[in-house]
């Protein structure tokens, strides 16, 4: 028997997440706790070989300064490397190393299309799409075609906007959220009441974007910045399945 034509059109949308590359900065309580833990660890510990060597050498230096003659066991002309010197050498070597900055240029200039921004939080892809006669910022979505599962619809959505070379790991076959809306009365018919958009979540795995030529305007934004671009109802539904 022929399936009854449902009045809702189905769309599959993909929420592509770029996972954080650096650790988030510690909050005040966390920093205080970390310092306390360090102190307690030092208090409960024993001296290591390096520390004992350092203490002995300091003792020897002090004795030599107080009494004005050389020790018998130190032959003149023999250079002795003190533990203190070693520590200073290590410190110098550490200061000479320049790590990559945590706040990148893209951060400073607020270039929202770059992936190098906000390395400590999740970034989501937003695309500008035409719905009806409006240009809206949305998570990339395409209409479902009979014969494919909704997950493959979502993957097709990603391929449409970013090309085939992007690798992403879709988290499971089930949708994470749904946004349904009714079409405005002018285009609403018996068979075409509205649309249901099913959201899927995926983690971005390839970091090479040189080959992609995006087909439309796109942005990579954090969860907090979503409010600048998405409509309130849509945003409410999307925020439910996004963990910060």
Partner 1 sequence: AQSLSPESVSPRALCSFSSCSSWLPQRIPLRGNHWQSSLLTPRTALPVRAQPKKKKKVDVKREQAQKDRMKKKLKKLERAAPELIPIEDFITPLKYSDGSRVRSLPPLSPEETERRVLLLKKWCLFKQRQDEAEKKAIQTLVESQQEALKELRLESEELYQAAIRRDEGLFPFEREGPTYTPPLPGYDPPEGKCVDITKVYTQ
For residues 105 and 102, give the distance between their C-alpha atoms in angstroms, rounded to a whole number.
Answer: 10
Site for partner 1 in 57-96 (CB under 8 A): none
Q: Is residue 169 within the footprint of partner 1 (CB under 8 A)? A: yes
> For residue 125, how many other CB atoms are within 10 A of its CB?
24
Binding-site size for partner 1 (CB under 8 A) equals: 52
Q: How far apart (Å, rounded) are the C-alpha atoms in residues 219 and 192?
A: 31
Binder of partner 1 out of 13, 127, 138, 150 (CB under 8 A): 150
User: Which CB atom, from 55 or from 216, has the smaller least distance to partner 1?
Assistant: 55
Sign of the C-alpha dihedral computed for residues 131, 132, 134 and 135 taken in this order:
positive
241 binds partner 1 (CB under 8 A): yes
Rounded Cα distance between 234 and 181, Å, is 9
Q: Is 34 exposed, middle or buried (0-12, 13-18, 19+ CB in 10 A)?
A: exposed
CB of 30 to partner 1, least distance (A): 8
| Smallest separation (angstroms) from partner 1 to the CB of 61 | 19
Exactly one of 14, 151, 158, 221 binds partner 1 (CB under 8 A); which one? Answer: 151
CB contact at 8 A, 229 and 219: yes
- Per CB under 8 A, the list member of 119, 139, 158, 168 interacting with partner 1 is 119
Contact between 203 and partner 1 per CB under 8 A: yes
| Residues sharing a CB contact under 8 Å with residue 151, sequence separation 6 or more, in sequence order | 12, 170, 173, 200
45 or 110: whose CB is closer to partner 1?
45
Handedness of CA 133, 138, 140, 146 (dihedral sign): negative
Per-residue x/- mask for partner 1, residues 1 to 40, rule CB under 8 A? Answer: --x--x-x-x--------xxxxx---x-xx-xx--x----
- Residue 23 or 134 with smaller CB distance to partner 1: 23
Under rule CB under 8 A, residue 243 binds partner 1 = yes
Structure tokens at 230: 């998405």
* Residue with Cβ nearer partner 1 (26 or 216): 26
Place of tokens 């920093």: 31
Residue 101 or 132 having the CB closest to partner 1: 101
Token look-up 């189905």 returns 10
Minimum CB–partner distance for residue 150 and partner 1 (Å): 6
Q: Is the backbone of residue 93 left (phi > 0), alpha (psi -120 to 50) or beta? A: alpha
Q: Which residues bind partner 1 (CB under 8 A)?
A: 3, 6, 8, 10, 19-23, 27, 29-30, 32-33, 36, 42-43, 45-47, 52, 98-102, 104, 119-120, 149-151, 169-178, 180, 196, 198-199, 203, 237, 240-241, 243-244
């Amino acid at each position: 028997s022929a399936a009854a034509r449902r009045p809702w059109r189905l769309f599959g949308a993909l929420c592509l997440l770029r996972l954080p590359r650096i650790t988030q900065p510690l909050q005040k309580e966390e920093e205080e706790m970390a310092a306390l833990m360090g102190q307690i660890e030092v208090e409960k510990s024993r001296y290591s070989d390096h520390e004992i060597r350092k203490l002995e050498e300091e003792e020897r230096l002090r004795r030599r300064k107080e009494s004005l003659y050389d020790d018998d066991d130190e032959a003149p002309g023999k250079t002795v490397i003190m533990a203190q010197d070693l520590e200073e050498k290590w410190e110098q070597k550490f200061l000479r190393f320049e790590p990559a900055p945590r706040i990148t240029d893209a951060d400073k200039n607020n270039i929202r299309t770059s992936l190098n921004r906000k390395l400590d939080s999740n970034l989501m892809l937003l695309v500008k799409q035409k719905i009806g006669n409006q240009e809206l910022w949305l998570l990339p979505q395409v209409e479902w075609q009979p014969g494919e599962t909704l997950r493959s619809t979502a993957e097709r959505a990603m391929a449409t906007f970013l090309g085939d070379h992007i690798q992403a790991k879709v988290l499971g076959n089930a949708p994470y959220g749904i946004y349904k809306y009714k079409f405005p009365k002018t285009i609403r018919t018996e068979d075409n009441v509205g649309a249901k958009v099913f959201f899927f979540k995926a983690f971005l795995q390839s970091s090479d974007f040189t080959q992609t030529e995006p087909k439309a305007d796109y942005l990579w934004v954090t969860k907090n910045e979503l409010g600048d671009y998405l409509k309130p109802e849509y945003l409410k539904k999307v925020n439910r399945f996004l963990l910060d």
